[in-house]
Structure 1
């Protein structure tokens, strides 16, 4: 009995662990904003868009910012919140802050 309980506890912990550390945007497609809204968000920020794609269930914008730096921006598909901005040089805004970071 104790052995069965220990195995079930371990299995349950392993199943829950990856879900908590998951960076995916888990949103039903019916709740997504259209791609045009993502393009509008980018235009409002002064970004030049090379590509908008879906990665791990989130929108991902590849392009450049107003200063010409290459960026990769992760956007929540339902709220259009900026989740993360990665610059080609490795700098980026912290996940979940929605902050637009200017390191100049």
Structure 2
């Protein structure tokens, strides 16, 4: 019985840790503290990205566009600080 409880506790602990890591790139900033979309467009320009679309994903700004070489790029930006959280390229 103790062995079963120990194993159950271990899996529960590992599962909770995995969920916390999955949300590390989510943004939880209240919308009243967000920067305007124009500021997000400036971030894209600084990255050399031509913006196709700016949307909200997981509470963050998500910029979809193309870089200077024409590759598709997706940039996740913190809406308060405008810090780039993640950049993904599609080849």
TM range (shorter): 0.7 to 0.9
Q: Does 1:39 align with 2:41?
A: yes
Q: 5 Å matches for 1:23-62?
A: 23-62=25-64
Matched residues, number: 81
Give 4+ residue runs of structure 1 displaced > 4 Å after superposition: 12-16
TM-score normalised to structure 2 length: 0.74
The unaligned stretches of length 5 or more in structure 1 are: 1-5, 90-104
Question: Whose relative contact order is higher, 1 or 2, with alpha carbons under 8 Å and at least 6 apart?
Answer: 2
User: TM-score if structure 1 supplies the norm length?
Assistant: 0.66
2:87 is the alignment partner of 1:85: yes
**Cα distance in structure 1, aligned partners of 2:73 and 2:82:** 17
- Name structure 2 gaps, 5 residues minimum: 1-5
